[in-house]
Amino acid sequence: QSVLTQPPSVSAAPGQKVTISCSGSSSNIGTNYVSWYQQLPGTAPKLLIYDDNKRPSGIPDRVSGSKSGTSATLGITGLQTGDEADYYCGTWDGSLSTHYVFGTGTKVTVL
């Protein structure tokens, strides 16, 4: 059972915005950077956001990340059909940050 909680699903029409929350605690999100991953159907996860709000090369600026306290949020604006995927947050957990944890995952549906 994951220690990071995400909504099971979110949806919006093309061109609209979606936000995905990731709720944790002081032992994980509260003290460590958060990453976000996109998993398209049948493929491996891909890093979308790291260090709470940084985008790897090639990730468009319509994708954003933020963090406040023990929660993090992923935002996607200008939603496209190609954004339909599962999204996971991830961070280190524990007093020594030796265990990595993923969120429960959120399915984004483009209406």
Partner 1 sequence: QVQLVESGGGVVQPGTSLTLSCAASGFTFSASGMHWVRQAPGKGLEWVAVIWSGGTNTYQLDSLKGQFTISRDNSKNMVFLQMNSLRAEDTAVYYCARGSSFSGGRPEYWGQGTLVTVSS
Nearest residue to 43 via CA among 4, 10, 8, 84: 84
Nearest to 21 by CA among 31, 9, 13: 9
Residue 50 sits in the site that holds partner 1 (CB under 8 A): yes
Using CB under 8 A as the binding rule, whether residue 2 contacts partner 1 is answered as yes
Q: Does 44 bind partner 1 (CB under 8 A)?
A: yes
CB of residue 64 to partner 1, shortest distance in Å: 17
The answer to whether residue 7 forms part of the interface with partner 1 (CB under 8 A) is: no
Closest CA to 24 of 106, 105, 108, 101: 101
Decide if residue 5 touches partner 1 (CB under 8 A). Answer: no
Candidates 7, 3, 54; CA nearest to 29 is 3
HEC per residue, 60-79? CCCEEEEEECCEEEEEECCC
- Interface pick for partner 1 out of 5, 10, 45, 53 (rule CB under 8 A): 45
Tell me if 90 contacts partner 1 by CB under 8 A: yes
Residues lying near partner 1 in the complex (CB under 8 A): 2, 33, 35, 37, 39, 43-47, 50, 56, 86, 88, 90-91, 98-105
